């Protein structure tokens, strides 16, 4: 079965045909790694991938992933456009392998082939990584990736999965009735990691009833890292804020043997 490589050129909407080959461009065993559903509270291990299930319904998919791509009807890319590629997509059966292309993947130096031992001076090449930046499995409608920061460059809008709270959202959170914030600490002193946590925590709190919110505040206060008086957490620093946000994410736990209080650095729902 023939495999195809297509390319997306910067500032052009169309997909271009690049190469048809009988050789697999990517090793399909990449998908034998364990995959965990993406959550910004989950840290991926080296031998794991993130995944987004039901990707076609996510709002981030590309139109050509949902139809049957007809190579014949696509325009063959020109040499000038090869220097303007934003990403390539290699299709191997039901698997779509994506790689971002930037200047580091272009080689225009003198080189020679080990097989032919001839010096080449005017044949610049584009290199292909051994591991794709994103892999879409059309059969199970799942996108796999290691780094969201790379995947979102291909699938626009995916940065919303780890977005930071805006200044307005951050300031609004600091005025929450369950917080007593030192006037010297304001939104300009909230770090990027905590802004990301605020964006996530706002979604969590919106799902809670008033009774559940009170339960989560009581649970957080039991771990004693931030003063809790009269139903309010005293926030004097970004570190104080972090512990309250961790509490709302329910990251604190006590070991059943030994009763040691701990913080979960990463969360995976089971």
How confident is the model at residue 71, as a pLDDT?
65
Q: Judge contact between 178 and 216, C-beta under 8 A.
A: no
Q: From CA 248, how far away is CA 217, in angstroms rounded?
A: 7
Residues 101 and 174 in one domain: no
Q: From CA 61, how far away is CA 40, in angstroms rounded?
A: 20
Residue from 120, 16, 117 nearest 76 by CA? 16
How confident is the model at residue 38, as a pLDDT?
87
Predicted TM-score (pTM) of the model is 0.72
Range of the domain at 136: 3-157
Residues 19 and 137 in one domain: yes
How confident is the model at residue 102, as a pLDDT?
83
How confident is the model at residue 242, as a pLDDT?
94
Domain end call among 157, 183, 210: 157
How confident is the model at residue 178, as a pLDDT?
96
Mean pLDDT by 10 residues, the chain (270 residues): 85 86 86 82 79 92 81 82 90 92 78 80 82 94 92 88 86 95 94 90 90 94 91 95 94 91 77
Structural domain count of the chain: 2
Domain end call among 157, 177, 196: 157
Residues 143 and 15 in one domain: yes
Residues 200 and 237 in one domain: yes
Tell me if 186 is assigned to some domain: yes
Tell me if 198 is assigned to some domain: yes
Handedness of CA 138, 144, 150, 155 (dihedral sign): positive
Residue 81 CB coordination number (10 Å)? 16
Residues 105 and 202 in one domain: no
Residues 188 and 207 in one domain: yes
How confident is the model at residue 215, as a pLDDT?
94
Domain end call among 110, 135, 157: 157
Residues 186 and 132 in one domain: no
Residues 143 and 33 in one domain: yes
Residues 149 and 36 in one domain: yes
Residues 124 and 176 in one domain: no
Residues 125 and 205 in one domain: no
Residues 144 and 74 in one domain: yes
């Amino acid at each position: 079965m023939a495999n195809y490589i297509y390319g997306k050129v910067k500032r052009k909407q169309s997909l271009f045909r690049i190469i048809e080959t009988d050789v697999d461009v990517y090793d399909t065993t990449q998908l034998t790694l364990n995959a965990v559903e993406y959550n910004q509270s989950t840290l991926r291990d080296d031998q794991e991938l993130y995944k987004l299930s039901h990707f076609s319904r996510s709002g981030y998919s590309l139109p050509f992933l949902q139809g049957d791509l007809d190579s014949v009807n696509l325009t063959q890319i020109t040499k000038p456009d090869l220097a303007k590629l934003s990403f390539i997509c290699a299709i191997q059966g039901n698997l779509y392998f994506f790689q971002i292309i930037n200047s580091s993947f272009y080689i225009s130096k003198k080189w020679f082939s080990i097989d032919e031992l001839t010096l080449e001076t005017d044949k610049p090449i584009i290199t292909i990584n051994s591991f794709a930046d994103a892999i879409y499995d059309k059969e199970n409608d799942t996108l796999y990736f290691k780094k969201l920061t790379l995947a979102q460059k291909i699938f626009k809008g995916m940065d919303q999965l780890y977005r930071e709270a805006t200044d307005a959202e951050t300031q609004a959170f600091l005025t929450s009735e369950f917080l007593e914030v030192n006037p010297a600490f304001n939104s300009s002193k909230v770090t990027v990691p905590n802004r990301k946590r605020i964006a996530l925590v706002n979604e969590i709190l919106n799902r809670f009833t008033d009774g559940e919110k009170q339960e989560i505040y009581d649970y957080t206060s039991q771990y004693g890292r931030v003063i809790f008086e009269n139903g309010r957490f005293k926030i004097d620093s970004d570190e104080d804020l972090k512990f309250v946000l961790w509490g709302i994410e329910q990251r604190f736990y006590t070991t059943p043997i030994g009763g040691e209080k701990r913080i979960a650095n990463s969360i995976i729902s089971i």
